[in-house]
């Protein structure tokens, strides 16, 4: 619905008639051009508006620092009274000393409304002293313009039939009627204003009446809508067609491709705010079964661009339902994961939503979309979860950051979610992630200390690697031996690797006697194979043998992978 954009401030008209001919003083003889222009400028007729403007601007220039704010407010109100709302708002902003003055905010809010800046109008009307009269009227009208019809209808219901500003009357009655229609109470409002408004705004009122009639008398309503589709009032014509498309789609008379084509065509005719909200809703409704992810993009636009509207609340609920349904949909994983990533804040509350978020985060990680996966879990850890569950998911998030080569972020997450009373598996995962992050940030000693009392195989492996990096080969060898000793027979790859690394560590430490004893002991456990051959080939001839062994060991690992 398009509403006239005029400044709505009351006050006497300032433009008076100007005489067609005014006497000019005699021109000086032989006047040079500058002198001639000065005479003409001084003698030109000045309208009362410009004369008053000149007086007020001069007052600002001459005002003391204490009085300049009031002088600017006087100029702002003068501009507002003359319909110059942009100029008025500029002066209001230049006079912050009176920004909390209720009269100032009321006049400024009328200017904001006249310019179509309804959110800003509501912000200025937030002062609790602006609770009645014109302020209440403007608040109700602004809410209606923003599509917050439930709140608008309640506000209109608390008001009388006539606003305090006469020039608000037409818009007030029309918006009041539309709000009643949108909340299903058109029958209460249309009879009260029908006769008056049909003479002033026939097309918009007929549109509301036709839409209200669809449920009880669809044939007559559709006929009226088809007539309005050809209206000279562009927004009425577009919204009538939009209503027809929605009605035919819901009744099954229109297929999705045809509905989308008509929606696309009607968009080219009109793109007003109210129409755009309705068009997005209609398109999302059509697309829900055809392309639910594209439907989600329309719903997301509603929530982002029209957050105060009732349509946005409905769109948020629809996004939640769609996210749940998408898990079972036959959609390519990358597209599905992106849809969740873009709309994670609409995941359902509770355990179901948390499970969905983790599931999609893992899908993103499998696609190597590590930053996106981490962002999903960031939202879950810091916006949804509490207590032990938060600490557990934080370990998963830290793992993603480590995989993405961001150990500093992993440390941040772990340290900000640290609590007591966690179960042993969660404590283990968090400790391993923190030690790995410390090691990758260069804090080798801190990482080793963190693992000093751990006996779990994973912790031992990490501790042995840390000792190796610190070139503490004696300690590394002992730790690798613990890993190998704890492994069941037949040995797995991790145990075989630990045996070879322990042997190399003994050689690098120069502990030849212990190396020989360990080689005899470990050889029997390894059994025949490449690892046993490599161990047997190692010779005690100084530290260089350890380096040669590492080269052979890398070749063995490469061959195993290929």
pLDDT at 402: 94
pLDDT at 528: 79
Question: CA 201 to CA 122: how far, in whole Å?
Answer: 26
pLDDT at 172: 84
Burial of 403 (0-12, 13-18, 19+ CB in 10 A): middle
pLDDT at 562: 47
Q: How many other CB atoms sit within 10 Å of the CB of residue 197?
A: 20
Distance linking the first and last C-alpha atoms of the chain:
69
Question: CA 284 to CA 298: how far, in whole Å?
Answer: 6
Question: CA 481 to CA 539: how far, in whole Å?
Answer: 19
Residues 6+ apart with CB under 8 A from 246: 282, 285
pLDDT at 268: 84
- Is the Cβ–Cβ distance between 81 and 11 less than 8 Å? yes
Give per-residue pLDDT as tens, 472-487.
888 888 888 888 888 8
Q: Where would I find the H helices in 367-417?
A: 370-379, 387-403, 407-416
Q: Which domains does the chain have, with CATH numbers?
A: 55-170 (1.25.40.10), 332-450 (1.25.40), 454-562 (1.25.40)
- Is the Cβ–Cβ distance between 92 and 73 less than 8 Å? yes
Question: CA 481 to CA 502: how far, in whole Å?
Answer: 6
- Is the Cβ–Cβ distance between 402 and 373 less than 8 Å? no
Does the pTM surpass 0.85? The reply is: no
- Which tokens in the block code for residue 203? 């097309």
Please identify every stretch of the chain with a pLDDT value under 50, giving residue numbers as ranges.
1-24, 27, 40, 542-543, 559-560, 562
pLDDT at 539: 64
pLDDT at 33: 56
């Amino acid at each position: 619905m398009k509403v006239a954009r005029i400044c709505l401030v009351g006050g006497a008209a300032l433009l008076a008639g100007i005489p067609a001919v005014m006497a000019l003083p005699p021109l000086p003889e032989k006047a040079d051009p500058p002198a001639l222009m000065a005479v003409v400028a001084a003698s030109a007729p000045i309208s009362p508006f410009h004369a008053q403007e000149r007086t007020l601007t001069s007052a600002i220039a001459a005002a003391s620092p204490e009085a300049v704010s009031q002088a600017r407010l006087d100029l702002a109100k003068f501009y507002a009274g003359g319909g110059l709302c942009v100029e008025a708002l500029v002066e209001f902003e230049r006079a912050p000393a009176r920004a909390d003055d209720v009269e100032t905010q009321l006049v400024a809010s009328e200017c904001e409304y006249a310019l179509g800046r309804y959110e800003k109008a509501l912000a200025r009307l937030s002062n609790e002293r602006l609770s009645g009269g014109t302020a209440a009227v403007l608040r109700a009208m602004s809410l209606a313009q923003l599509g917050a019809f439930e709140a608008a209808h309640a506000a209109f219901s608390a008001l009388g039939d006539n606003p305090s500003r006469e020039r608000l009357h037409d818009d007030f009655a029309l918006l009041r009627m539309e709000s009643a229609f949108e909340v299903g109470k058109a029958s209460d409002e249309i009879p009260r204003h029908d006769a008056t408004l049909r003479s002033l705004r026939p097309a918009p009122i007929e549109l509301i009446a036709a839409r209200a009639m669809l449920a009880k008398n669809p044939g007559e309503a559709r006929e009226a809508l088809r007539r309005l589709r050809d209206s000279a009032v562009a927004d009425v014509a577009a919204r009538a067609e939009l209503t027809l498309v929605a009605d035919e789609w819901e009744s099954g008379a229109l297929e999705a491709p045809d509905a989308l084509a008509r929606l696309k065509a009607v968009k080219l005719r009109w793109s007003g705010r109210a129409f755009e909200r309705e068009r997005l809703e209609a398109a999302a409704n059509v697309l829900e079964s055809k392309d639910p992810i594209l439907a989600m993009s329309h719903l997301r636009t509603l929530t982002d661009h029209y957050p105060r509207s009732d349509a946005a609340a409905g769109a948020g609920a629809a996004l939640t339902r769609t996210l749940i349904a998408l898990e079972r949909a036959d959609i390519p994983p990358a597209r599905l994961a992106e849809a969740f990533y873009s709309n994670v804040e609409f995941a359902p509350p509770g355990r179901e939503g948390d499970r969905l978020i983790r599931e999609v985060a893992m899908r993103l990680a499998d696609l190597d979309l590590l930053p996106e996966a981490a962002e999903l879990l960031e939202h879950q850890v810091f916006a949804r979860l509490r207590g032990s569950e938060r600490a557990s998911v934080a370990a998963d998030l830290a793992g993603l950051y480590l995989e993405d080569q961001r150990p500093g972020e992993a440390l941040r997450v772990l340290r900000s979610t640290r609590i007591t009373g966690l179960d042993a598996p969660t404590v283990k995962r968090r400790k391993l992630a923190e030690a790995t992050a410390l090691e990758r940030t260069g804090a080798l000693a801190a990482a080793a200390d963190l693992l000093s009392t751990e006996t779990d195989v994973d912790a031992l492996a990490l501790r042995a690697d840390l000792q190796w990096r610190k070139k503490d080969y004696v300690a590394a060898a002992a730790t690798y031996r613990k890993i190998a000793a704890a492994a069941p027979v037949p040995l797995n790859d991790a145990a075989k690797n630990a045996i070879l690394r322990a042997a190399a560590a003994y050689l690098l430490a120069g502990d030849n006697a212990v190396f020989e004893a360990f080689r005899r002991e470990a050889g029997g456990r390894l059994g025949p194979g490449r690892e046993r051959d490599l161990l047997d080939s190692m010779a005690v001839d100084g530290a260089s043998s350890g380096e040669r062994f590492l080269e052979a060991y890398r070749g063995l690992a490469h061959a195993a992978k290929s």
